[in-house]
Chains A and B, each alone.
Chain A
Amino acid sequence: DQQVKQNSPSLSVQEGRISILNCDYTNSMFDYFLWYKKYPAEGPTFLISISSIKDKNEDGRFTVFLNKSAKHLSLHIVPSQPGDSAVYFCAAIQSNAGGTSYGKLTFGQGTILTVHP
């Protein structure tokens, strides 16, 4: 049972335009969400996160939006750059489940973003 889903395996965007990557989750107990970026032959790197008490978090060109009622979050990249081409993973965690859940991120399948010059 995939609790975190990224239904778009890939996304292609022109440089300078907006990239929107989507993520849906089914576990209503998730209360903290993260986006990771991964280049080929490298490990994922943290990009941006959001707590469930917020509906938006912005960091430079990257903004994450959270819609708790829809159990949906999205990552917006504006403007997109060729160096943003990578695989993007969303991840979620239930932070208040006690010791058994601490640090146990649940990842989506990933979306391959390609930004064309």
Chain B
Amino acid sequence: IAGITQAPTSQILAAGRRMTLRCTQDMRHNAMYWYRQDLGLGLRLIHYSNTAGTTGKGEVPDGYSVSRANTDDFPLTLASAVPSQTSVYFCASSVREAPYNEQFFGPGTRLTVL
């Protein structure tokens, strides 16, 4: 593993189903983030974690949950998927929460909810 990996690459999901998007980084970064990218809206922060064991809500947290049991992993769960959650999801990490450190992004997960 080098950098940030996300799984799956893409997924088609029936509405109402539960789904967990996985994110793993091997850079020992303290802070991790989940964004969704939608046409015309750019990237919007869903949830973040400044360090293992802590999480916080971003701009669009409703319908999503996260956990940060260790430094490397930051899974995003959709408890009951809805079509409006169709999007491209990016996980990111940074050395620490300060803005002066750039955020490194994973390759993304394309999710379609039908």
Could you say which residues of chain A place their CB within 8 Å of the CB of B42? Answer: 4, 6, 89, 107-110
Interface residues of B (CB under 8 A from A): 4, 31, 33, 35, 40-45, 48, 50, 56, 58-59, 90, 92, 94, 97-100, 102-108
The complex places the Cα of A100 from the Cα of B45 at a distance, in Å, of: 13
Residue from the list B43, B97, B106 in contact with A103, Cβ < 8 A: B97
A109–B104 Cα distance when bound, in Å, is 19
Chain A neighbourhood of B90, CB < 8 A: 43-44
* Count of A-B residue pairs with CB < 8 Å: 73
Q: How far is the CA of A32 from the CA of B101 in the complex (A)?
A: 11
Tell me if A93 counts as interface (CB < 8 A to partner B): yes
Q: Which residues of B contact A107 (CB under 8 A)?
A: 35, 42-44
Cβ A41 vs Cβ B98 within 8 A = no
Q: Name the one of B40, B94, B107 contacting A43, with C-beta atoms under 8 angstroms.
A: B107
Q: Does the CB pair B43–A42 fall under 8 Å?
A: no
Q: How far is the CA of A58 from the CA of B108 in the complex (A)?
A: 29
Contact between A32 and B103 (Cβ–Cβ < 8 Å)?
A: no
Contact between chains at B105 and A102 (CB < 8 Å): no
A residues lining the B interface (CB < 8 Å): 2, 4, 6, 9, 32, 34, 36, 41-46, 49, 89, 91, 93, 95, 99-100, 102-110
Q: Which residues of B have CB within 8 Å of A106? A: 45, 59
Determine the chain A residues whose CB is within 8 A of the CB of B56 once the complex forms: 100
B107 touches A105 (CB 8 A): no
- Beyond the given pairs A43-B106, A106-B45, A109-B42, 18 more chain A to chain B contacts, judged by CB atoms under 8 angstroms and listed by A's residue number, are A9-B40, A34-B102, A43-B92, A44-B43, A45-B104, A46-B102, A95-B100, A100-B56, A102-B31, A102-B50, A103-B31, A103-B33, A103-B48, A103-B94, A104-B45, A104-B58, A105-B43, A106-B59
